[in-house]
Chain A
């Protein structure tokens, strides 16, 4: 029943007027795209762009406010320094690497896994279908954060386990959508024709059906990226994500939480970085959905 309502909600037809004129949607998509490109460039060229070494400590320059200039080296720190005298801006720039890496790798694995399961369930039907779709129901009916904590709780923190968490908790969304679409494509003439010509099941699935389903998977994946970045930073904030030695936005905020009384910038700017990045992915995701497959609106 919940799934029925969810399906109804996600099918809700929405004209362009629902969320502003098409031009405005294109504009917000362009803004999202621009944000994503800038963050990606920062991550790739961090070593060229970052003004300082992100791990260089300066105990005489601890907890200095934004714009502080070191009287010893003459170096300027645009958004201040942390409790070990490290440059917050450089750490934010380097931190984008972890967020993007974990986000993109885990979402790619999850999308591939979920899509294949959806294809298989929708094409072979029968017992396989029942098993896969009951598992989808199971995963979808659980609180996501709890599942994530349970998996991390058992496997321990670490980047690989973080990716495992995302895969285990998010695959069902892809499977459900791709399964529905596979069911309808399986009835189409081009699939019957391919089967009649003697194509193997694998060929029908991956050569004929998959290309038609990819747009939906791409849309879901883009929409998922922002979510996964928030999850990664949240788990890192709790000390359950990446090891504390790696500079990430989540661990920076955890440090910032301890120094709120005397260094507001430590708890502000890393969060701003997360918000802008997630906003970029969400805007881009909304736009790709409207462009490629408006039926996926949730």
Chain B
């Protein structure tokens, strides 16, 4: 067990190192940040001065070493635009994005799981077909368009909800619905097929033949076992919600990491882009690690020690 966790943590750390390296290489091979930071008519000496100040005149391996050393200390450089530490800028936005992603996840689970279970239990009925058709349509709708439609209905027409978010609860309803709807569709499809698989099992038939109530068979016997693949999808879904809320954040002007990232990209503010990538990938990798370790709790048969050979 300990070896397994250690191995997983090592892989997680390697993953983050890999991402950081990719970002570092791509940044140093495309474009010169000096060209975007200064107006074109600045004399060459001035440009050279800024280059030295930012450490961009040193050999690439020295820059990489310094960058890694900084990373270990939690120092990811200063924002070119705002002068503040890049990591701090990102970290202060994380709770707000986390809040939106969690709310979206709640919406997705609240809609997706019951819908999937009902569709599986009433397989082949009109209800099943409606749920699955809605799921297909939901998976084809871009999240930001769902957001726009919600604004049209609830802000412009009905005037119930604010179109611009201030981070408060009421202003979170629409962004959470928009983010959650897409994941709800995936979760519903996944839950349905996982449930169908389990409902065919012998132990479900045994439970029924023992005379257990249908609801007990479904919740106690079937759903519990159908949950394992669903948890994987939930974990992956939450990670992509963290990343995917980027676009929804700009629809609703939500003050999260996504908007920070988009603004940093537009302004070629490399340290901030870099910090966003490091922070979000770290969160994503940690979530995956958490999901992995949850399996053991859900299904004691999955002996973690035996699965270390991948």
Contact = CB atoms under 8 A, between A and B. Distances in A.
B295 A146 contact: no
B136 A5 contact: no
A284 B242 CA distance: 29
Interface stretch (B53-61, B148-156, B166-174, B214-222): B148-156
Contact of A260 (B123, B151, B232, B295): B151
B300 interface: no
Contacts of B228: 5
A151 B26 contact: yes
B144 A253 contact: yes
A284 to B, nearest CB: 12
Contacts of A230: 140, 142
A278 B137 CA distance: 9
Contacts of B19: 138, 142, 147, 150
A79 to B, nearest CB: 15
Contact of A145 (B30, B240, B265, B285): B240
Q: Which of A3, A5, A138, A147 has the most CB of B within 10 A?
A: A5
Given A146-B277, A149-B246, A156-B30, A279 B140 contact: yes
Contact of B273 (A5, A150, A257): A150
B30 A142 contact: no
Interface string B1-21: 000000010010011001100
B264 A153 contact: yes
A237 interface: yes
Contacts of B183: none
Interface string A232-244: 0110011110000
Nearest to B252: A257
Interface string A201-234: 0000000000000000000000000100010011
Q: Which of A145, A233, A268, A274 has the most CB of B within 10 A?
A: A145
A30 to B, nearest CB: 15
A20 B136 CA distance: 14
A154 interface: yes
B292 A2 contact: yes
Q: Interface majority SS on A: helix, strand, loop or mixed?
A: helix
A156 B32 CA distance: 12
B142 A12 contact: no
Nearest to A145: B243
Contact of B31 (A6, A143, A156): A156
Query: What size tier do the contact residues of chain B reach?
Result: 35 or more
A197 interface: no
Interface string B114-142: 00000000011000010010001101111
Interface in B235-267: 235-236, 239-240, 242-244, 246-247, 250-251, 261-262, 264-266
Nearest to B152: A264
A122 interface: no
Contact of B152 (A17, A19, A237, A268): A268
A9 interface: yes
A150 B151 CA distance: 29
Nearest to B190: A9
Interface string A59-80: 0000000000000000000000
Interface residues of A, number: 56
A261 interface: yes
Q: Which of A138, A146, A278, A282 has the most CB of B within 10 A?
A: A146
B15 A142 contact: yes
Given A143-B239, A240-B262, A18 B193 contact: yes
A195 interface: no
B34 to A, nearest CB: 15
Interface string A148-168: 011111111000000000000
Contacts of A152: 265
A256 interface: yes
A263 to B, nearest CB: 10
Interface string A246-285: 0000000100110011001001100100111011001100
B280 A146 contact: yes
Q: Which of A17, A141, A240 has the most CB of B within 10 A?
A: A141
Contact of A238 (B27, B140, B250, B295): B250
A38 to B, nearest CB: 15
Contacts of B193: 12, 14, 18, 297
Question: What are the 8 tightest A-B residue pairs by CB atom distance, in nearest-first order?
Answer: A271-B145, A145-B243, A143-B243, A153-B265, A279-B140, A278-B140, A154-B26, A146-B243
Given A154-B23, A282-B140, 10 more contacts: A12-B197, A18-B196, A143-B239, A150-B22, A154-B31, A156-B30, A260-B148, A260-B155, A274-B141, A276-B140
9 contacts: A9-B194, A19-B132, A138-B18, A141-B285, A144-B243, A145-B246, A150-B26, A256-B148, A282-B139
Interface of A: 1-6, 8-9, 12, 14, 17-20, 137-138, 141-147, 149-156, 226, 230, 233-234, 237-240, 253, 256-257, 260-261, 264, 267-268, 271, 274-276, 278-279, 282-283, 297
